[in-house]
Structure 1
Amino acid sequence: MSGETYLVYGEVYLLTPSSSSWNHDGDPVELLQINESVSEFRQALKENPRFLQDKVKHYFKENTHRLTLSMSPDESYLEKQAQAEEEKLQKKIQALSDGDRKEIYDKGLELLDAQSKTQDASCLPALKVSDIEPTIPVTPVQISTAGGVPVQYCEQPTNGLVYFRAMCSLNTMPEELRLYVPLFCSVITKMGCGALDYRQQSQQMELRTGGMSVSTQVIQDSTQLDMYEQGVLLNSSCLDRNLPHMFELWSDIFNSPHLDDEERLRVLVMMSAQELANGISYSGHMYAMTRSSRHLTPAGDLRETFSGMDQVKFMKRIAEMSDLSQVIRTLPRIKKHLLNPDNMRCAVNTTPQKMSDTAAQLESFMKDVSENRKERKPVRSNIVEVRYQQAYSYVRKLISELNFSPCQMKTLFPMPFPVNFVSESIRTVPFSHEDYASLCVLARMMTAKFLHGEIREKGGAYGGGARMGGGVFTFYSYRDPNSVQTLSAFRRGVDWAKSGQFTQQDIDEAKLSVFSAVDSPVAPSNKGMGLFLSGVTDEMKQSHRERLFAVTHKNLVDVAERYLGVGQRTCGVTILGPENDTIKKDPSWIVK
């Protein structure tokens, strides 16, 4: 941008907040005099400490000029909408002459022909694969301990911020508590802790930190499809001067969380259940992909438990419970297993100047929570210890289910909306396998050169494509008017790939697309996180990079035939969408 452009942009940005008052004969200059308004507000508070309370009382509590609006859903809305659309369509059809019908038909054929043609993109500027850097920069980390807990330190230009993570294993937690773990993660930082109620805790988090959160983690092993790590990730950041306050908040959460406030818990449960239910209509393809891969790997099964339709159903049941005493008794049991320093490893990203101070504060934090440390036996015997690198002094404890038997399953979830979210997942290979890179390139190429045209342009879906990750090759469509037809498009996409009807330019474009994700900028706060969470080293990333460069036409046809061909694949299929008579009549489908 030129200096003049920046000036115009700044003026627009400055005046936009004033436009509402300005349009109603207000003074825009007065709204820009922020300091004067703040001074008046402070003076008003000084003269009357109950200034805000009085305003709330005057304008809200005792204000008789109010309107109450109630909205209730029409149970037959979708039927009425479909009927109105059908009547409107029939009315327009009846008004067409024979000439109009022929013209529409001919234009439809013209459109189909145009959609099937390959566009000439040679006139457009483009990168070449040869323009991509052949090697990745190395991210140095140091491994140490704090209070007996392994810690990864990564020096980064974080601009005065300290980023703290802690991975807590689920290996010692009883299996029957699994479904409750996402709920525990969502409420543990919102119920209050120590001497703070939940409001005070929230205020301190906003005042002293950039946020504190806990989330579930299911991490597929990079070498074996049937090995994975399960845990929860503690995540927070703060300015270096607030580091003692941040660790004090975490200490209170470890030592004395308020998990017995049923009224507060009910509010959080209702909010969580509503968010999950609302998310289906916006991210239904994610739920479909999670479900379709459920029976293909052990990690996929746990992901469905933590973040799939099983979790949506579970939270709906919890939200409908009149008595949450059972949940209140369950949360401390989970806390006992998760917030245990014996099952933890930590990571810190900050500037070199603040690293020693941060290490000292982390050591102090570990002493504060040492009472929670207790060695517990894993509930499973099939635990495998994997060392990060030979020189590193700590290990990741993975669950190994080498006797896992993947199975095929097709599931329909009837939903009260008129579009479908379709997914088909196929078990393939882990990250370190030599064919993984070829499958990544194949997924991008199929998306751009075949599936986009078939599913979006011809089929009318909002979007669709294929992706490779976690040892699973997944097809998907988003807000799709079709269901069974889209599954046929997935199969035609496999046939297209097996036939080899693509050019070297198509392959290069797919590689560029893959590298755009592989080489996307990594914030200083996230440097080293691949190693910390997944055990994926810079050497493993470089090997994967070299395999991406080396992918050929023959490789793509080979992996399509070997992993995606009918009879050589283990797959799962899931559809979220309206009632489907065709699927109901098919005994191979399970209708929920």
Structure 2
Amino acid sequence: RRAEEEKTRLAALRQTLDAAGEQAVVERAAALKARQAAEDDASLLPKVTLEDVPAELPRLAYHEDESAGLPVTTYETATNGLVYQQLVAPLPALSDEELALLPHYTGTATELGLGEADYLETQHRQSAAVGGINVYTSMRGDVDDAQRVRANLVLSSKALQRKAGDQLALMRDTREALRFDELPRLRELVAQQRARRDQSVTGQGHSLAMAAACAGMSPMARLQHRSTGLAGLRSLRALDRALGNDSELQAFAGRLEQLHQRLTAARPELLTVTEPGSRGELLDAAQALAATLPAGTTDSLALAPVQERRGECWLTNTQVNFCARAYPTVPVGHPDAAALTVLAAYLRNGFLHRAIREQGGAYGGGASQDSSIAAFRFFSYRDPRLTETL
């Protein structure tokens, strides 16, 4: 209908033009096409040469210690009085159901109560002890094989230097005393997650489209599509509807608690970034944390290899399109990975911007090499065209 209305509007405008007006439109269109095809004078721009690039990466000094059996890695640098600490543990072997539950766990773990304290009391404790605390997963494809994945669960926080002891105590309790019996709170958190994800579709449409296009290229790409991509959003909507039933909500809380026990069974390592001279104090504080940690498990996450061709179209409430195409390439350890990264920037600035935005009318477009999943992606953002762009 919109296309027909546009044709009618243009036809009406043409009726108002005389021969000179029509010729002016033709000449302007030809001038625009010539300008878009013209090569800009790159000599006018400042240049970055190899002399501007350091030959080596900076080497940061660090210390590796052990505090009551807990491995501790410390970087001492100027932090303006802050201390950053992370508990990093390998993800254990998880079933497909547990993997689907993982983003809900990481999204709620620091929003619930601890021990005898409900979630409101815990939030007050967090505000008093730290400047931020969160749980997330860190996954990377192997440097030589994107079909193999290395995955860790990270509990991260930052605090004032004088609050480092309270910070570690809060991190310990988040691992050991997290409660899942506040069912209305869980229901509220899932509803909030759905609302945020629903509202982010048009803002992140190009990223979601690329995730869908890459989903058949590596196990990590497939997991990303199923957890934080469009497939994950579809599952989140179904979960949000299901949790309106009290028995479903109770079962969901039980599954989260079981997953929590699995994830915290692995013995973590502690990473600390702090002011120079405070390492000894933090090692003493880490001893109290180490005394309560489990012995650890030996199994680690292993995802089934996948490499398949996929073609999908997802419909949403938007008047523009988000297009993506992806091609299998190489992991980060391959000699071609660096060249593909440079090629993506060259295509984005040298061709795709002009073809997709200036000529095609999209708000943006480009290319990127993602070596962690061994994929080269093309995308357009807020694109009035579909098949022409693809």
TM-score (norm 1): 0.62
Corresponding residue for residue 25 of structure 2: 104
Which of 111, 124, 129 lines up with 1:203 in the alignment? 124
1:515-534 aligned at under 5 Å gives the runs: none
Structure 1 residue runs without a partner (length 5+): 1-78, 379-396, 488-592
1:177 aligns with 2:98: yes
1:328 aligns with 2:249: no
Structure 2 residue runs without a partner (length 5+): none
Contact 2:90–2:266 at 8 Å: present in 1 too? Answer: no
CA-to-partner distance for each residue in 1:284-339, whole Å, 9 max, x for gaps? 11111112111111221122222111211111111112121221111101100112
Q: Distance in 1 between matches of 2:356 and 2:272?
A: 44
- Change in CA separation of 1:82 and 1:319 when aligned onto 2, cut-off 3 Å: farther
1:106-121 aligned at under 5 Å gives the runs: 106-121=27-42
- Aligned-residue offset at 1:364: 1.1
Highest CA radius of gyration, 1 or 2?
1
Corresponding residue for residue 222 of structure 1: 143
Q: Distance in 1 between matches of 2:113 and 2:307?
A: 43
- Change in CA separation of 1:192 and 1:95 when aligned onto 2, cut-off 3 Å: farther
Q: Distance in 2 between matches of 1:160 and 1:128?
A: 37
Percent of residue pairs bearing the same amino acid type: 26
Q: Distance in 2 between matches of 1:247 and 1:213?
A: 13
Contact 1:157–1:351 at 8 Å: present in 2 too? Answer: yes
Which of 221, 245, 263 lines up with 2:184 in the alignment? 263
Which of 331, 337, 347 lines up with 2:262 in the alignment? 337
CA-to-partner distance for each residue in 1:261-289, whole Å, 9 max, x for gaps? 11111111111011111111101111111
- Change in CA separation of 1:484 and 1:243 when aligned onto 2, cut-off 3 Å: same
Corresponding residue for residue 430 of structure 1: 331
- Aligned-residue offset at 1:233: 1.7
- Change in CA separation of 1:109 and 1:205 when aligned onto 2, cut-off 3 Å: same
Task: Determine helix, strand or coil for the equivalent of 2:59.
Answer: coil
Q: Distance in 2 between matches of 1:472 and 1:267?
A: 37
Corresponding residue for residue 446 of structure 1: 347
Contact 2:266–2:296 at 8 Å: present in 1 too? Answer: no
Which of 459, 464, 482 lines up with 2:365 in the alignment? 464
Task: Determine helix, strand or coil for the equivalent of 1:225.
Answer: coil
1:370-409 aligned at under 5 Å gives the runs: 370=293, 373=294, 375-376=296-297, 378=299, 399=302, 404-409=305-310
Corresponding residue for residue 50 of structure 1: none
- Change in CA separation of 1:374 and 1:277 when aligned onto 2, cut-off 3 Å: farther
Letter in 1 for 2:382: R
1:101-180 aligned at under 5 Å gives the runs: 101-180=22-101
Task: Determine helix, strand or coil for the equivalent of 1:280.
Answer: coil
Q: Distance in 1 between matches of 2:129 and 2:4?
A: 56
Corresponding residue for residue 490 of structure 1: none
Which of 275, 290, 312 lines up with 1:366 in the alignment? 290
State the Cα RMSD in Å: 2.1
Q: Distance in 2 between matches of 1:336 and 1:427?
A: 37
CA-to-partner distance for each residue in 1:559-589, whole Å, 9 max, x for gaps? xxxxxxxxxxxxxxxxxxxxxxxxxxxxxxx
Corresponding residue for residue 314 of structure 2: 413
Corresponding residue for residue 310 of structure 1: 231
Q: Distance in 1 between matches of 2:74 and 2:168?
A: 17
Contact 2:86–2:272 at 8 Å: present in 1 too? Answer: yes
Q: Distance in 2 between matches of 1:89 and 1:267?
A: 50
Contact 1:172–1:377 at 8 Å: present in 2 too? Answer: no
- Change in CA separation of 1:82 and 1:359 when aligned onto 2, cut-off 3 Å: farther
Task: Determine helix, strand or coil for the equivalent of 2:388.
Answer: helix
Q: As a proportion of its length, which structure holds more helix? A: 1
Corresponding residue for residue 376 of structure 2: 473
- Change in CA separation of 1:262 and 1:98 when aligned onto 2, cut-off 3 Å: farther
TM-score (norm 2): 0.92
Q: Distance in 2 between matches of 1:206 and 1:375?
A: 31
Letter in 2 for 1:279: S
Q: Distance in 2 between matches of 1:163 and 1:363?
A: 17
1:283 aligns with 2:204: yes
CA-to-partner distance for each residue in 1:455-487, whole Å, 9 max, x for gaps? 111111111111112221111111111122112
Letter in 2 for 1:414: L
Q: Distance in 1 between matches of 2:279 and 2:31?
A: 66
- Aligned-residue offset at 1:405: 4.7
- Aligned-residue offset at 1:231: 3.0
- Aligned-residue offset at 1:115: 0.3
- Change in CA separation of 1:93 and 1:179 when aligned onto 2, cut-off 3 Å: farther
1:13-92 aligned at under 5 Å gives the runs: 88-92=9-13
Contact 2:265–2:297 at 8 Å: present in 1 too? Answer: no
Contact 1:172–1:376 at 8 Å: present in 2 too? Answer: no
Q: Distance in 2 between matches of 1:209 and 1:285?
A: 35
Task: Determine helix, strand or coil for the equivalent of 1:364.
Answer: helix
Comparing 136-145 with 261-270, which one deviates more in the overlay?
A: 136-145
CA-to-partner distance for each residue in 1:417-468, whole Å, 9 max, x for gaps? 1111111111111112111111111111111111111111111111111111
